[in-house]
Amino acid sequence: MAKSYGIEVDCANCANKMEEAAKATAGVKDCTVNFMTLKMNVTFEDGADELGVMKEVRRNCKKVEDDCEVYI
């Protein structure tokens, strides 16, 4: 199951950091962050609680880049 979320981030490197942080989150199978379109495409593990996982993704992203936002 894959879903796309809007994000807010200022620099291309921060987007890369967010991508890594999201990938490392439990329940996320794969993730790509597109700096150009400000979108985060998340592929979830089977049976993952999407909302819960995304909240965790947002928390992890804020750890690496304070100035970012993930719109769930």
Partner 1 sequence: MNKRQKKTLIRIIIAALLLVVIAVAEPYIEGTGPAYQAVPWAKTVLFVLYLIPYLVIGYDILKKAVKGIIHGQVMDENFLMAVATIGAMALGDYRESVAVMLFYQIGELFQSVAVGKSRRNIAALMDIRPDSANLVTTEDGKETVTSVDPGDVAPGSLIEVVPGEKIPIDGVVERGSSSIDTSALTGESVPRDIAAGDEVISGSINQSGVIYVRTTKAFGESTVSRILELVENASSQKSRSENFISKFARYYTPIVCISALVVAFIPPIVNVITGKDAMLAAFVYRALTFLVISCPCALVISIPLSFFAGIGGASRAGVLVKGSNYLEVLSKADTVILDKTGTLTRGVFEVVSIHKDDIGEDELLKYAAYAEQHSTHPISRSIVNAYGRDIDTSLITDVHEISGRGVEATVSGRKILAGNDKLMDDNGIEYTECPDGGTIVHIAIDGKYAGHIHIADVIKDSSAEAIRELRKMGVSRTIMLTGDSQEVAEKVAQNLAIDDYRAQLLPQDKVDAVESVLNDNSRGRGKVAFVGDGINDAPVLTRADVGIAMGALGSDAAIEAADVVLMDDDPIGIVKAIGIGRKCMRIVYENIWFAIGVKVICLILSALGIANMWVAIFADVGVMVIAVLNAIRTLHISRAGRLVTGHLQNQ
10 binds partner 1 (CB under 8 A): yes
Strands 69-71 vs 28-34: parallel, antiparallel or unpaired: unpaired
Among 1, 13, 24, 71, binds partner 1 (CB under 8 A): 13
Q: Are 33 and 58 in contact (CB under 8 A)?
A: no
Interface positions, 30-59, toward partner 1 (CB under 8 A): 32, 34-39, 41
29 lies in the site for partner 1, by CB under 8 A: no
Q: Greatest CA span in the chain, whole angstroms? A: 33
Give min distance, CB of 65 to partner 1, in A: 9
Neighbours of 58 (CB within 10 A): 22
- φ, ψ for residue 71, nearest 5 deg: -90, 110
CB of 41 to partner 1, least distance (A): 6
Would you count residue 63 as binding partner 1 (CB under 8 A)?
Answer: yes
